[in-house]
Amino acid sequence: MKRRKTRSRRRRKNKFWKKTFVTGALLGGGIYFVQKTLEETSSSGQQTVIMDITDAAGKFTSQVNKGFEEIQIKDDTPLIDLSRTNSANILLTNLKSGDVLAEKNSNVQLYPASLTKIMTALVAIEMVDDLDKEVVMIPDYFEGLFEQEASVAGFLEDELLSFRDLLYGAILPSGADACLAIAYSLAGSEAEYVSLMNQKAVELGLSKTHFSNVTGLHDPQNYSSAEDLTSLLKYALDNPDFYQVFTTVEYSTEPTNFHADGVQMFNSIFRHGEEYPKFSDFVIGAKTGFTEEAGLCLATLAEINGESYILITAGAGAQENGPDYVEILDPLHVADATMIYSQVEKIHERSKINVNE
């Protein structure tokens, strides 16, 4: 990559001087300008210029020696454009390094909707020694779900299932019935289980998070932030059982006393693969969420050129974002994720070009 030289003129010995300058750099087809201060010490005959320049490959550091000049270029500014996104809250991070690539209102309180079920599943995994232990689905696990139009996994009263089945039911089809079965079976009530979820939130330092239920059904006291949800998901993915559930697209239980072929479950977010094929190319795991107040929410794990990324988006089409709210038909959260991850892919591609040059 070519860089422009900076010019200087010598002054009297032992005289220090500063000059403000503007350097233009042609990078990745775009021109970026950075204004910095240049300091020269004529007694040494050398000058050092530190310039922050937005490079098309993202974070980029190199050093070039040019005679009396030593130029160091650093950049800590990500190149992800969020100006056309639909989501009110966004946070994109590198899973391994934790580096933030893009953010939008990431520390602002939001309603997580069914992203709440990430914590519901995590607490269960950490509590249960044997995930194949069986649970009977009693009527209490279904109470009020139809009236609240909650999503369900498709289990039936008196059906015999394993905790593993319940975990897949909570994450893939976002089943509220699975979540209530987990809560009652492990803590005796939803309220007691929610207390365990909040204890875990405190343990993880999720200062903007509080849960009031296990399902994510709207409640003003059930809230979080994109930053907290990122921390939660990053922690959860370190658990191999959670990782397995989160990155599964399709799952079938063993035959049950009501389903001879088992209960079939799918992660519905991947049905948008035909409309957004790039989404399925990038994303290997996902959890969706939606209420009128929360809008469309999405937590995803993606792999791009050997790097893993976590993206949290929330608030797309939320009712309180404007008076013209209508029922969401377009997958705005999928569109946002596809747009953002596509930009990450381009950054990787440009980085390879720069290295080859």
3-class DSSP state of 87 = coil
Rounded to whole angstroms, the Cα distance separating 209 from 205 reads: 9
d(CA 118, CA 232): 8
Which neighbouring-strand residues pair with 250? 266
Predicted confidence band at 354 (pLDDT cuts at 50, 70, 90)?
Answer: low
Structural element, H or E, at residue 163: helix 163-171
Confidence of residue 270 (pLDDT cuts 50, 70, 90): very high
Query: 41-50, 162-171, 233-242: which range is least confident on average?
Result: 41-50
Band (pLDDT 50/70/90 cuts) for residue 351 is: confident
On the question of pLDDT at 99 being above 90, the answer is yes
How confident is the prediction for the chain on average, in pLDDT?
80
Residue 294, number of CB atoms within 10 A of its CB: 28
pLDDT of residue 6: 31
Angle formed by the axes of helices 190-203 and 176-187, nearest 10°: 90
* pLDDT over 60 (residue 177): yes
Residues with Cβ within 8 Å of residue 86, at least 6 apart in sequence: 296, 316, 317, 332, 333, 335, 336
Q: Which of 37-46, 181-190, 226-235, 305-314 has the lowest mean pLDDT?
A: 37-46
- Dihedral class, residue 249 (left if φ above 0, else alpha if ψ from -120 to 50, else beta): alpha
Q: Which residue in 51, 17, 312, 290 sits closest to 150, CA to CA?
A: 290
pTM here is 0.77
Burial 77-94 (b: 16+ CB within 10 A, else e): ebbbebeebbbbbbbbbb
How distant is the alpha carbon of residue 290 from its chain centre? 16
What DSSP state is assigned to residue 7?
P
Burial 206-222 (b: 16+ CB within 10 A, else e): bebbbbbbbbbbbbeeb
Q: What is the pLDDT of residues 334-346, one digit of tens each?
A: 999 999 999 999 9
State the pLDDT at residue 353: 62
The dihedrals phi and psi of 264, each to the nearest 5 degrees, come to -90, 135
Whether residue 59 is predicted with pLDDT greater than 60 in this model: the reply is: no
> Residue 79: which pLDDT band, with cuts at 50, 70 and 90?
confident
The two three-digit tokens of residue 140, written as one number: 């209490």
- Residue pair 41/16 in contact (Cβ under 8 Å)? The answer is yes
